[in-house]
């Protein structure tokens, strides 16, 4: 597999330095991507560069994931309008371990092969480096004029920016440049990859290597991923889409990919999966014939959910989707864990009820009119029960006077009421 060709047809190359392709053709090459450990989980915005490393390893080269423990203490000005909060060492180490566990789903760290993936942390080589040594050894090789010419710096120093830029952030590109130099000298790393907003920082690294060692280093960046409607990729109303299930449940993760537009699905399936070119072309053609079947979205959602979570989580997400949008049974509903149940019914009207209500049993008609106002009147509820339009926990309510007891609650706490086909209500007993 040719790495550059692979990235090109997938639409994952924005710019690369001359000679990059020749270097990769010449020998097994190490390349790195930097990740700021500002949280203990990656989000899907990180996935583009992680997939670049994955394809890199598949092409027989060595991927290095650099967790920016030192630079994470400072904050990168690229694409930012304000300075970020700084983290202490304990938080950084915790974040690093969590990120490595996630990266292991994409990269092979355990192999004995020469192209086994590696994880490094720049805090390990920066923590003992004194400020005086740094400005003497590194600072003198890069001029202020050179640093000022970078777009990320220009934007923050322009009249449009009200916050300006601290010296700390200004020094970021030097520190990132030193990372590349250190990896070049200690890990024979000759290529740095990242998003196109990183081009300025990355080329500072190649320049530093050239001036310090008189040898070549290379840069390759991918386009920043956008949505067809111009919105920011990976953001939802509730914030980032995370890889850690504690922050984004597998069901919500699956739904994010399932709900992308046709244009985005065609683009994303190339970027975020390892499906080969012929199969993707076949899927695109199949989708074009019947867009309403959402072939691309379904396959994309499956591939990414299985890769990030598991086959079991994917199947559970499918079952959960069927509960909301299909003709699933009460058995399927009872199988849902609490996390998925709440994710599925996020946004439906909720009623909190004293658990004691269920101790002696309560008539369904009293429960759904007086205690939780699912129906505005008992008359309306009776009519709908008679026509078979009311369900509790996906089972049709045959009699409005049916007694509901504590053992009817899902996970000992929830009762799902359904009025007609599409109106759901979640009763929560506390």
pLDDT in tens, 322-361: 887 766 778 888 888 888 888 888 888 999 999 998 988 9
Q: Please tell me whether residues 125 and 261 are part of one structural domain.
A: no
200 pLDDT more than 80: yes
| For residues 92-120, average pLDDT | 93
Residue 224 to residue 173: CA distance in whole angstroms: 19
Just list the catalytic residues. 38, 43, 46, 80, 84, 176, 197, 232, 235-236
Q: Is residue 414 part of a domain?
A: yes
Strands 218-222 and 189-195: parallel
| For residues 212-239, average pLDDT | 86
Nearest of 225, 218, 276 to residue 15 by alpha carbon? 218
Residue 38 to residue 72: CA distance in whole angstroms: 6
Q: Please tell me whether residues 200 and 260 are part of one structural domain.
A: no
Q: Please tell me whether residues 304 and 208 are part of one structural domain.
A: no
Q: Is residue 24 part of a domain?
A: yes
* More reliable by pLDDT, 343 or 425: 425
Nearest of 234, 369, 362 to residue 308 by alpha carbon? 234
Beta carbons of 206 and 20 less than 8 angstroms apart: no
The pLDDT value recorded for residue 37 is 86
In angstroms, how far is the first alpha carbon of the chain from the final one?
Answer: 57
Q: Is residue 127 part of a domain?
A: yes
The pLDDT value recorded for residue 85 is 57
How much is the mean pLDDT over the chain?
Answer: 89
| For residues 216-244, average pLDDT | 86
Domain range for 415: 350-429
267 pLDDT more than 90: yes
235 pLDDT more than 70: no
Beta carbons of 305 and 241 less than 8 angstroms apart: no
Q: Please tell me whether residues 147 and 239 are part of one structural domain.
A: no
Q: Please tell me whether residues 308 and 392 are part of one structural domain.
A: no
Q: Please tell me whether residues 253 and 211 are part of one structural domain.
A: no
Tokens 């400072």 belong to which residue?
A: 74
Look at 37-46, 298-307, 320-329, 374-383 and tell me which has the smallest mean pLDDT. Answer: 320-329
Look at 143-147, 257-261, 368-372, 426-430 and tell me which has the smallest mean pLDDT. Answer: 143-147
Share of the chain above pLDDT 70, in %: 94
Band (pLDDT 50/70/90 cuts) for residue 204 is very high
Beta carbons of 33 and 66 less than 8 angstroms apart: yes
Q: Using one digit for the tens of pLDDT, what is the confidence trace for 287-299? A: 999 999 999 999 9
What tokens were used for 91?
């938080």
Q: Please tell me whether residues 144 and 190 are part of one structural domain.
A: yes
Looking at the chain, the number of H-run helices and the number of E-run strands are 20, 15
Residue 294 to residue 292: CA distance in whole angstroms: 5
Residue 292 to residue 318: CA distance in whole angstroms: 18
Q: Please tell me whether residues 336 and 372 are part of one structural domain.
A: no
Nearest of 182, 237, 219 to residue 71 by alpha carbon? 182
Share of the chain above pLDDT 90, in %: 63
166 pLDDT more than 90: no
- CA dihedral for 87, 88, 90, 92, sign (positive or negative): positive
Band (pLDDT 50/70/90 cuts) for residue 81 is very low
Cα 311 to Cα 50, 167, 242, 306, 390, distances in angstroms: 20, 48, 18, 5, 34
Residue 253, C-beta contacts closer than 8 angstroms, at least 6 positions apart: 241, 243, 245, 304, 305, 308, 309, 317
405 pLDDT more than 50: yes
Q: Using one digit for the tens of pLDDT, what is the confidence trace for 28-80? A: 999 999 998 888 999 999 999 999 999 999 999 999 999 988 876 665 555 44
98, with CB counted inside 10 A (0-12, 13-18, 19+), is middle
The pLDDT value recorded for residue 159 is 63
Q: Please tell me whether residues 213 and 142 are part of one structural domain.
A: yes
Number of domains in the chain: 3
* More reliable by pLDDT, 297 or 239: 297
Q: Is residue 229 part of a domain?
A: no
* More reliable by pLDDT, 72 or 224: 224
Beta carbons of 255 and 267 less than 8 angstroms apart: no
Q: Identify the domain boundary among 344, 366, 401.
A: 344
Q: Identify the domain boundary among 179, 196, 222.
A: 222
Q: Please tell me whether residues 126 and 109 are part of one structural domain.
A: yes
Buried b (16+ CB within 10 A) or exposed e, 400-418: bebebeeeebbeeebbbbb
CATH number, domain of 424, equals 3.10.290.10
Residue 417 to residue 279: CA distance in whole angstroms: 43
Q: Is the pTM of this model over 0.85?
A: no
Find the length of the chain.
430
Q: Please tell me whether residues 109 and 209 are part of one structural domain.
A: yes
Q: Mean pLDDT: which of 124-133, 179-188, 323-332, 343-352 is highest?
A: 179-188
Q: Please tell me whether residues 114 and 69 are part of one structural domain.
A: yes
* More reliable by pLDDT, 411 or 283: 283
Residue 21, C-beta contacts closer than 8 angstroms, at least 6 positions apart: 4
Task: Give kind and range of the element (H or E) at residue 195.
Answer: strand 189-195
* More reliable by pLDDT, 98 or 82: 98
DSSP 326-351: S---HHHHHH--HHHHHHHTTTS-EE
CA atoms within 13 A on the CB side of 99: 28
CATH number, domain of 289, equals 1.10.240.10
What tokens were used for 146?
């050179």
Residue 73, C-beta contacts closer than 8 angstroms, at least 6 positions apart: 86, 87, 92, 123
What tokens were used for 188?
């024979």
The pLDDT value recorded for residue 82 is 47
Strand partners of residue 351? 427
Strands 414-419 and 390-392: antiparallel
Q: Using one digit for the tens of pLDDT, what is the confidence trace for 208-222? A: 999 999 999 999 999
Q: Is residue 230 part of a domain?
A: no
3-state SS, residue 72: helix
Task: Give kind and range of the element (H or E) at residue 147.
Answer: helix 144-148
């Amino acid at each position: 597999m040719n790495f550059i060709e692979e990235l090109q047809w997938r639409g994952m190359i924005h710019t690369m330095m001359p000679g990059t392709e020749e270097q990769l053709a010449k020998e097994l090459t190490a390349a790195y991507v930097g990740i700021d450990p500002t949280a203990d989980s990656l989000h899907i915005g990180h996935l583009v560069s992680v997939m670049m490393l994955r394809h890199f390893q598949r092409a027989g080269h060595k991927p290095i994931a650099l967790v920016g423990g030192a630079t994470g203490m400072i904050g990168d000005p690229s694409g930012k309008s304000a300075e970020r909060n700084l983290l202490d060492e304990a938080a950084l180490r915790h974040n690093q371990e969590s990120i490595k566990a996630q990266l292991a789903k994409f990269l092979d760290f355990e192999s004995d092969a020469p192209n086994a993936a590696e994880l490094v942390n720049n805090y390990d080589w920066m923590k003992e480096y004194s400020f005086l040594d740094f400005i003497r050894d590194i600072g003198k090789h890069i001029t202020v004029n050179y640093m000022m010419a970078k777009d990320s710096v220009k934007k923050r120093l322009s009249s449009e920016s009200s916050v300006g830029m601290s010296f700390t952030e200004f020094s970021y590109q030097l520190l990132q440049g030193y990372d590349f130099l250190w990896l070049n000298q200690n890990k024979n790393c000759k290529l740095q990859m990242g998003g196109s907003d990183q081009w300025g920082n990355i080329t500072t690294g190649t320049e530093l290597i050239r001036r310090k060692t008189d040898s070549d280093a290379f840069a390759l960046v991918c386009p920043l991923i956008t949505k067809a409607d111009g919105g920011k990729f990976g953001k939802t109303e509730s914030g980032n889409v995370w890889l850690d299930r504690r922050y984004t449940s597998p069901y919500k993760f699956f739904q994010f990919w399932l709900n992308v537009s046709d244009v985005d699905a065609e683009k994303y399936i190339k970027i975020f999966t390892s499906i080969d070119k012929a199969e993707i072309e076949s899927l695109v053609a199949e989708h074009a014939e019947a867009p309403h079947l959402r072939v691309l979205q379904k396959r994309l959602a499956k591939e990414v959910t299985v890769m990030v979570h598991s086959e079991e989580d994917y199947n559970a997400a499918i079952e959960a989707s069927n509960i909301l949008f299909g003709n699933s049974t009460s058995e399927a509903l009872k199988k849902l864990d609490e996390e998925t149940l709440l994710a599925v019914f996020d946004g439906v009207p909720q009623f909190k009820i004293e658990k004691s209500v269920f101790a002696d049993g309560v008539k369904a008609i009293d429960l759904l009119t007086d205690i939780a106002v699912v129906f505005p009147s008992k008359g309306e509820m009776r009519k709908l029960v008679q026509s078979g339009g009311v369900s509790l926990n996906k089972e049709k309510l045959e009699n409005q006077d049916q007694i509901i007891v504590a053992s009817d609650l899902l996970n000992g706490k929830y009762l799902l009421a359904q009025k007609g086909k599409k109106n759901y209500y979640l009763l929560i007993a506390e």
